[in-house]
Amino acid sequence: MPPDVLYHQYGQALLDSVRDGSYPESEEVISAELPPAAIPDILNNLEQTRNDVKANIQIISKDSAPDIDGWISQAKQLRQDIELAHDTSSNIINETVDSLNLQGQVRDAANKVALLDGELAFTKTLISFFERIDKLRKVLASIERSILNDQIVELTDTLVQASTELDDIRAQHDTCVAEVLKARLNSLREEVERSLLFHWNTLLRVEVSSSSVSAQQAIQRNAVITLDAVSKALSTLGLLGNAISTFCTNLEKAILLPRLQWHPDESTRSIILDRDLLRVSESSTEPILQNLFDDISKVIRFLGEHLPRSILRDASKILMPNLLSRLKSVWLSSAVPIDLEATETLQSIIQSVIDFSNLLEKQEWPGKADLMDWVEDIPRFWLGKRRQQSLDRVKSLLAGRPRTARTVERVETQFVSPKEGIFTNAEAANEWNAEWSDDEGSVRPNPGNVGLNHSKNTEKDEDVVAWGLDEFNEGEAQPQEPELRGDCEEDAWGWGEEEEASGERSHATKKAVSNPSKQESNGSFGTAPRTAMEITLKETYNITSLPIELLAIIRDIIIDVELIQSKNSQSPIASAAIGLLDLPSLVLTMYRAGASISYSLNPSGNMFLYNDSLWLAERLQELSEKHAKARLQLTADIQALSTLSKRAYGKEMESQRTILSDMLDGAQGLVQCTEPPFAQECDLAITSAVERVRDLHVQWEPILSHSALLQSLGSLLSTLITKMIVDVEDMSDISEPESQQLAIFCSRVASLENLFLPHMRSRERVEAVASLTAVYTPGWLKFQYLTNILESSLADIKFLWEEGELSLEFDVNEVVELVEALFADTEHRRRAIGEMRRLSGNR
């Protein structure tokens, strides 16, 4: 393309971009460089375009020239208006400045007027203030003259008015003059008050030191001053309440309190009324309630005659609350007899109270309602005194240390079948004080009732708990089945011992103890006609004096209940019989609450508490049955006493078991019992435990019954031997010296069986010792067999397993572990173990 064409394209592209904001469409123009030679053509093109635009503007402006001329004319008119407004505003500003000056002058004039008004008002107020001050000064001067003339009563109203006026002045004008007048007025008021109180105390004179009161209606000074006028003046000044309160307080100290003092074993002072004088006499009178009412009536009449009604009304309201309180709490409470035989005395007291309450009503004194309420509450009040008396007796019992009072006897009657082998000869029956009586029918005795049960058959399970039979530690032998316990307890009572005169317990007896299921077929028990027999068993034990005295308290309560229900049905306290029936339960509850602390003062307190609670429960059961007509409900309390006894017994047994366990823990499982220092520790632990059991036997023997003593010792011995059995079975290797030493330890513990001797008179019955020990000590036969195993050869152990009764106490695994611990691993041992396992599988 020729260069001139290209230069034109450059100018046109630039013009389109400036005018329309568009870009060239030719790629060549966009990508080409602008040569300097093209600039003149471009400028010419732009100049030509500008001239064309100017020409177009001129053409267009010629068409709109008339409109523009109108606009110019309006603009000139607007300019003229603006100049006119400017001149107007300048005039307004000038006038505003002039008005502000005038307003300032007006304000100055108003301030001057206000100042003059204030000065005028202040002058008027000052004149009024001085006039009021002058008037008040004159009033105070007149008060001073009245005081000098002893016209105190008449000026109290003036004094109150002056005080009110001065307070108003001081509220409006806090000035020194007002304060000076206030001080002067206070001084005058104090002087008036002193004078009024002096007149009051002169008219009503109370001498606390001489216990006398005098009263006058009027006194003569410069003028006659009456009590009524003085009381009104004191009321005007607001002092009457304090004056009456002070008078009543002094009256109580001088007259009422000396008379109201209660001395049951001494005489009391009396009150004498002599016209205008009331005093406490130096002479004495008997502390009778009617005499007191008479003296108080004198005080009431004296005050009614000498005090204005307004004062008397306020004074009675102050005096009566304390008077009634002391009267009811001291005199009436002491006068009400607890003895039910004193019915006439109680009626007399009630009549005296009613008469006195009527006097109060007649004299318009308060208190009648309170006294009549007390009359209606006499049954409750008497019951409260009766309750307090009984509880005080229980407190005094619990506060002392329980002492052994006497030996008591427990008697139990059972129906026993002769097939049980009991009392096969008359000697045993006589020795145990058994009383026989034939009876039809065959009733098997409840084994829990022989030697263990201290109450009804229905409480057998709880009695078992009481004896600790449910407290064996894990690993201890559990009690035998009921049938076995029945026969074992027959041994405890000494029954059937005639059959064991050979010196050793027979094989049949061992079978009966070890296997209850074979007991009936055991020939050692003998046979007899199938006729049930009634036997009475007796056993003694010791109790303290506390339950005996507690029972006496309850008996006294029951006697009172029956006396009220039978003879005193019309008595004022007849309705208290129902509440009195609850008192035995309250007494027993207090006993149970304080028993643990009271009995803790005795080393054997828990055992005494056990005996006392059971004995008391038995006596209460008898008492409840005997006095059934009294509707006495003691079932829950009897059950609670049984629970208390079991808890005390269980607590003591658990404590002793813990002590024995701690002692045996010193042996450290009997491991290395032949090597020092472990040998000395083991020896000390076993010796201490054995001596502990013997000490407990000595401590408990004077307290518990024989069967209870054996049961307790058997439980502790069971704890001891169970621990030793477990320790020995836990040993994986026992040398021959250790085996011998362990057997010595077991023999030392086995020596405790001499504690289980029954009551006997013939030497031939000593053989029953082993039987009694096994009865009361679960695991005793197992412990004896353990001793035999420690001392026996392998052949002996095998023989005891095959031909003896070792399998009745040990299972095959226990025996095998002991054999493996005692004997070396040889063919002979393996063969013996295999034979024992084979025999165990065939059984």
Q: Which two tokens stand for residue 485?
A: 């316990």
Q: What is the DSSP string of 151-166?
A: -TTTTHHHHHHHHHHH
Strands 224-226 and 533-544: unpaired
Phi, psi at 121, each rounded to 5°: -65, -40
Q: What is the pLDDT of residue 527?
A: 39
Phi, psi at 593, each rounded to 5°: -70, -40
CA-CA distance, 451 to 546, in Å (whole number)? 24
Residue reference for tokens 């307890």: 489
pLDDT, one tens digit per residue, over 727-752 is 888 888 888 888 888 889 899 999 98
DSSP state of 522: -
CA-CA distance, 802 to 815, in Å (whole number)? 12
Q: What is the pLDDT of residue 716?
A: 94
CB atoms under 10 Å from CB of 222, counted, come to 10
CA-CA distance, 483 to 639, in Å (whole number)? 26
CA-CA distance, 648 to 830, in Å (whole number)? 52
CA-CA distance, 343 to 644, in Å (whole number)? 40
Phi, psi at 225, each rounded to 5°: -115, 120
pTM above threshold 0.75? no
CA-CA distance, 13 to 17, in Å (whole number)? 6
**Residue 411: which H helix or E strand, with range?**
strand 404-416
- Cβ burial of 655 (10 Å; 0-12, 13-18, 19+) is exposed
- Cβ burial of 598 (10 Å; 0-12, 13-18, 19+) is buried
Q: What is the pLDDT of residue 737?
A: 86
Q: Which residues contact 630 (CB under 8 A, 6 or more apart)?
A: 558, 561, 562, 565, 581
CA-CA distance, 135 to 124, in Å (whole number)? 16
Q: What is the pLDDT of residue 299?
A: 92
Residue reference for tokens 């602390």: 597
* The amino acid at 334: S
* The amino acid at 373: D
Low-confidence ranges of the chain (pLDDT < 50): 1-2, 4, 419-530, 760-770
Q: What is the pLDDT of residue 170?
A: 67
Cα 283 → chain centroid: 52
534 close to 414: Cβ distance less than 8 angstroms: yes
SS3 letters across 662-674: HHHHCCHHHCCCC
- Cβ burial of 269 (10 Å; 0-12, 13-18, 19+) is middle
* Bridge partners of residue 207, in order along the sequence: 212
Q: What is the pLDDT of residue 612?
A: 92
CA-CA distance, 628 to 156, in Å (whole number)? 78
Q: What is the pLDDT of residue 652?
A: 93
Beta strand extents in 95-137 (DSSP E only)? none
3-class DSSP assignment, residue 264: coil
Q: Which two tokens stand for residue 427?
A: 């000697």
Q: Which residues contact 15 (CB under 8 A, 6 or more apart)?
A: 45, 46, 49
CA-CA distance, 628 to 635, in Å (whole number)? 12
Q: What is the pLDDT of residue 399?
A: 86
- Supply the Cα-derived Rg of the chain in whole angstroms: 60
Q: What is the pLDDT of residue 580?
A: 86
* Bridge partners of residue 271, in order along the sequence: 280
Q: Which two tokens stand for residue 380?
A: 């409750």
Q: What is the pLDDT of residue 657?
A: 93
Distances (CA, A) of 21 to 27, 41, 236, 336, 790: 17, 20, 112, 129, 125
725 close to 786: Cβ distance less than 8 angstroms: yes
pLDDT, one tens digit per residue, over 56-95 is 887 777 766 667 777 788 888 888 888 888 888 888 888 8
